[in-house]
Amino acid sequence: MNDARANTIVDIAHLAGVSKSTVSRALNDSPLVGAETKQRIREIARQQRFQMSDPARRLSLGQSHVVALVTYAYKADDTVPDAFMLETMSGIASGLHAEGYDLLVIQVSPTDTDWVRRYLQSGRVDGFILLAASCTASHIQTLTEANASFVIWGGASGSHNYCSVSGDNFAGGKVATEHLLRRGRSRIGFMGGPAREPEVRERYRGYEVALRDAGKSVDPALVTYGPFSLAWGTKAVVALLEQASDLDGLFVTSDAVAIAAMEELRARGLRVPDDVAVVGYDDVALARHSAPPLTTVRQNGPLAGRLLAENLIQHLRTGAVTNVSIPAELVVRESA
């Protein structure tokens, strides 16, 4: 007696006298296969004690139920550990898990676009989550041309032909500056990150509008840009004090950099907030434990992460393109 079993879809297709794709559709209950053919194929599979493995089933459906978070390879000393992005990643993982998806974190070069083809053609991921501060126009173009599903965190406000979730950076910059003005501060410095980043430009625009609405013009001596690094935070606040010794307020577009700036102010004998009031951005967990606790603009990383996951999955399922903005919220603590 021959005990050989059908081990593959090809074997079942041979026994049923149909194509491999028909077997795959029948076993996945596709409406493209007639009821009679579907029943016959399933009966053969049952007799042969054949079951599709989960990876094979996902491959046949063109789905991996995995989403890739794209991170970028930089020198270790270029930037501070991104506490906000760690909190956002937690929200992404939670949002994906609720929908039956897994998270894969990949690291790519800012100048490389081959990763799009590699991950899509291998079937390892269904879509991508990117960060506007790091992704380039060539990344977006390559993803679009590959008909890839992706969502971007950050960037300028407004609609796009791809999914995005962002904080209201203009409103955040404006509310931070208005708060310092209400506290009687008249010489307010702006410490941005890299000037090319859309989020930084929008926060500066909010700063500029708040000053203008208060009847003040922007003093270039009070504005500085640089990398999101602790070392730059220290150097930048020193440079601002040298250029404007009457500095009495400071809006910094990163909590970590703001904390570094406060440490340098104290080292120079200046009191926060008595001499210089400081407002940061993001409201990472560390902000409430700094000395003094940091007034900041909350972006809500866990919520941002969940929205990134939910909007990407919605796009995968329906093709809907969504552009979501999270309101800016000022959190007042002792630093201002």
Nearest Cα residue to 335 out of 173, 178, 183: 183
Cα–Cα distance measured from residue 205 to residue 216, given in angstroms and rounded to the nearest whole number: 14
CATH code for position 50: 1.10.260
Cα(128)–Cα(116) distance, rounded to whole angstroms?
Answer: 9
At 122 the pLDDT is 78
d(CA 130, CA 168): 18
Contact 17, 26 (CB under 8 A): no
Residues 160, 185, single domain; the answer is no
Measured distance CA(193)–CA(195) in Å, rounded: 6
Asked whether the beta carbons of 129 and 92 are under 8 A apart, the reply is: yes
Give the pLDDT of residue 7: 67
Q: Are 204 and 211 in contact (CB under 8 A)?
A: no
Distance CA 132, CA 302 (A): 18
**Pick from 244, 236, 234, 304: nearest CA to 266:** 234
| Local confidence band at 52 (pLDDT 50, 70, 90 cut-offs) | low
CATH of residue 272? 3.40.50.2300
Same domain, 176 and 196: yes
Does the pLDDT at position 1 exceed 50?
no
The predicted structure's pLDDT at residue 333: 97
As for how many domains the chain has, the answer is 3
Do residues 57 and 24 make contact, with C-beta atoms less than 8 angstroms apart? no
Average pLDDT over residues 124-153: 85
Averaged pLDDT for residues 233-259: 95
Q: What is the identity of the amino acid at 79?
A: T
Specify whether the CB–CB gap between 206 and 175 falls below 8 A: yes
Contact (CB, 8 A) for 168 and 325: yes
Q: Which of 37-41, 139-143, 239-243, 298-302 has the highest mean pLDDT?
A: 239-243
Residue 74 is given by DSSP the state -
Which whole-number Å values give the CA distances from 248 to 17, 74, 183, 210, 307, in the listed order?
Answer: 82, 34, 10, 16, 37
Spatial contact of 314 and 161, defined as CB atoms under 8 Å apart: no
In a domain, 120, yes or no: yes
Alpha-carbon gap, residue 52 to 58, rounded angstroms: 10
Phi, psi of 3 (to 5 degrees): -95, 10
Asked whether the predicted pLDDT for residue 39 surpasses 80, the reply is yes
Tell me the pLDDT of the chain averaged across its residues: 86
The verdict on residue 2 lying in a domain is no
Give the pLDDT band (50/70/90) at residue 2. very low
Q: Kindly report whether the peptide bond that precedes residue 273 is cis, defined as omega within 30 degrees of 0.
A: yes
**Largest Cα span, the chain:** 96
Please check whether residues 244 and 153 belong to one and the same domain: no
pLDDT at 80 over 80: no
Q: Are residues 245 and 180 in the same domain?
A: yes
pLDDT > 70? residue 215? yes
Q: Are residues 115 and 174 in the same domain?
A: no
**Residue 93 and residue 146 in one domain:** yes
Average pLDDT over residues 20-29: 76
What is this structure's pTM?
A: 0.77
My answer on whether 174 and 294 are in the same domain is yes
155-204 per-position pLDDT tens digit? 665 667 889 999 999 999 999 999 999 999 999 999 998 898 888 999 99
Residues 75 and 196 in one domain: no
Higher pLDDT, 138 or 173: 173
Separation CA 286–CA 258 (nearest Å): 11
In the predicted model, what is the mean pLDDT of residues 232-257? 95
Domain region containing 132: 66-167+301-326
In single-letter form, the type of residue at position 209 comes to V
| 293 and 173 together in one domain | yes
The verdict on residue 176 lying in a domain is yes
